[in-house]
């Protein structure tokens, strides 16, 4: 078991990572005894885990289960209104809780509701995907999409408790597991703990050479490192002005490609494409060693991840979409680059300079 406390602004998040932690959920949530709990999940997760989780919590709490449609389209204002209505109908108060059981969509949406209903409820994250377990469940960002722009509306609201059970990842389809690994690979590439995290990348490279399916023990190590790396960055820069932006490596292009793919690419797949595009440009400008690019491309290919922008998506469309990124402004954008493993840095760029640097 690995456990630590992450202090962000005036709030503290208790983080627990343990294989089979979801089998004794209430042991970590004793403070919820006697309260109402909105147990929020989606139609993919519900058949796998909802009944077991609900039975555990129902011994001590009044549980209201809510199952939402799966997918990014669920993060919308209409869904927010429906959830507010359910909370009102069941007379939830700010001393009650939302338990978000799912991936990034459920985590983002549940956190937004928790942060705004009665100006703040208790929030517990029980992430079930590799991206959520290694990244999005901590850090306090909440969000919904609006008018086609990803995560345009949101708040900063860290969960009180995050319970990570790597065993839940064993139910993921191979494609989802591989796509989620992109965020962990990104974290290892930007991590300042070197050469240890470079060695972990080499271990992952060796493991994926023979099988896309990773051992549970290795998954637990990778998820833990992902959360530790993110914890260190967000604790220094909660509101996302400096070092926390390193976590956006690959996301400027990735978010654009994801939106333009219209559901054909998973989030991690699109981010991976964005990372490779940036690394190729960096190699062309002699800003990044070729072997770092080759290692990353090899790792992605062994995980059966795409490394090329789909032919149906033009460079012009991607660049136009990056202008809508929430971190862009009238002057341009702040790009995350790496000089090598463990050497991330930020570069302000005009949109014209970004286009020229990419060679597009």
Q: What are phi and psi of 95, to 5 degrees?
A: -85, -5
What are the C-alpha distances in Å from 318 to residues 71, 72, 88, 302, 310? 22, 20, 42, 26, 11
CA distance 271 to 257: 8
Could you tell me if 119 and 196 lie in one domain? no
Q: What is the mean pLDDT of residues 303-312?
A: 97
pLDDT digit string, tens, across residues 168-190: 999 999 999 999 999 999 999 99
Could you tell me if 117 and 195 lie in one domain? no
**Domain closes at, from 146, 168, 190:** 168
Q: Does position 211 have pLDDT exceeding 80, yes or no?
A: no
CB 324 within 8 A of CB 295: no
Could you tell me if 237 and 221 lie in one domain? yes
pTM, full prediction: 0.91
3-state helix, strand, coil in the chain (%, to 5): 50, 20, 30
Could you tell me if 161 and 257 lie in one domain? no
**Domain closes at, from 168, 200, 215:** 168
CATH number of the CATH domain containing 338? 1.20.1090.10
Q: Does position 276 have pLDDT exceeding 90, yes or no?
A: yes
CB 18 within 8 A of CB 2: yes
CA distance 82 to 88: 10
pLDDT digit string, tens, across residues 10-54: 899 999 999 999 998 888 899 999 999 999 999 999 999 999 999
Domain that holds residue 180: 174-358
DSSP structure class, residue 287: S
CATH number of the CATH domain containing 126? 3.40.50.1970
Considering just the CA atoms, what is the radius of gyration of the chain in Å? 20
- The confidence score (pLDDT) of residue 328 equals 81
Q: What are phi and psi of 102, to 5 degrees?
A: 165, -160
Band of the pLDDT at 295, cuts 50, 70, 90?
very high
Could you tell me if 158 and 213 lie in one domain? no
- For residue 271, say if its preceding peptide bond is cis, omega within 30 degrees of 0: no
Could you tell me if 182 and 209 lie in one domain? yes
CB 299 within 8 A of CB 204: yes
Could you tell me if 103 and 144 lie in one domain? yes
Band of the pLDDT at 7, cuts 50, 70, 90?
very high
Band of the pLDDT at 338, cuts 50, 70, 90?
very high
**Domain closes at, from 124, 149, 168:** 168
DSSP 169-212: GGGS-HHHHHHHHHHHHHHHHH-SSTTHHHHHHHHHHHHHHH-S
Could you tell me if 119 and 27 lie in one domain? yes
Band of the pLDDT at 210, cuts 50, 70, 90?
confident
Could you tell me if 324 and 189 lie in one domain? yes
- The confidence score (pLDDT) of residue 148 equals 83
Could you tell me if 118 and 231 lie in one domain? no
Could you tell me if 146 and 282 lie in one domain? no
Could you tell me if 76 and 13 lie in one domain? yes
Number of structural domains in the chain: 2
DSSP structure class, residue 214: P
- Give the start-end residues of each E strand in 29-93: 36-42, 62-68
Band of the pLDDT at 102, cuts 50, 70, 90?
very high
Q: What is the mean pLDDT of residues 68-89?
A: 97
């Amino acid at each position: 078991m690995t456990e630590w406390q992450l202090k962000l602004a005036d709030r503290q998040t208790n983080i627990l990572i343990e294989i089979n932690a979801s089998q004794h959920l209430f042991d970590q949530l004793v403070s919820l005894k006697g309260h109402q709990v909105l147990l929020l999940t989606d139609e993919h997760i519900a058949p796998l885990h909802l009944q077991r989780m609900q039975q555990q919590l129902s011994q001590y709490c009044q549980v209201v289960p809510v199952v939402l449609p799966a997918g990014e389209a669920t993060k919308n204002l209409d869904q927010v209104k429906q959830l507010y209505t359910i909370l009102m109908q069941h007379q939830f108060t700010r001393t009650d809780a939302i338990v978000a059981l799912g991936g990034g969509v459920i985590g983002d949406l549940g956190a937004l509701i928790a942060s705004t209903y009665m100006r703040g409820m208790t929030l517990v994250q029980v992430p079930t995907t590799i991206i959520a377990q290694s990244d999005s469940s901590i850090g306090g960002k909440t969000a919904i999409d609006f008018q086609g722009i990803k995560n345009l509306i949101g708040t900063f609201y860290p969960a009180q408790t995050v319970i990570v059970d790597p065993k839940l990842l064993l139910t993921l389809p191979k494609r989802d597991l591989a796509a989620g690994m992109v965020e962990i690979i990104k974290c290892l590439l930007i991590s300042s703990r070197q050469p240890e995290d470079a060695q972990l990348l080499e271990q992952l490279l060796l493991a994926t050479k023979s099988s896309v399916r990773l051992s549970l023990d290795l998954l637990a190590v990778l998820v833990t490192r992902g959360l530790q790396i993110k914890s260190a960055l967000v604790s220094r820069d909660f509101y996302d002005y400096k070092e926390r932006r390193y976590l956006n490596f690959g996301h400027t292009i990735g978010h654009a490609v994801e939106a333009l793919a219209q559901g054909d690419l998973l989030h991690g797949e699109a981010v991976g494409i964005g990372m490779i595009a940036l690394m190729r440009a960096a190699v062309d400008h002699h800003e990044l060693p070729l072997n770092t690019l080759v290692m990353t491309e090899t790792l992605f290919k062994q995980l059966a991840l795409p490394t090329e922008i789909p032919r149906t998506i033009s460079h012009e469309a991607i660049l136009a979409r990056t202008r809508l990124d929430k971190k862009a402004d009238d002057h341009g954008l702040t790009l995350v680059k790496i000089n090598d493993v463990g050497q991330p840095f930020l570069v302000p760029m005009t949109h014209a300079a970004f286009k020229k640097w990419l060679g597009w």
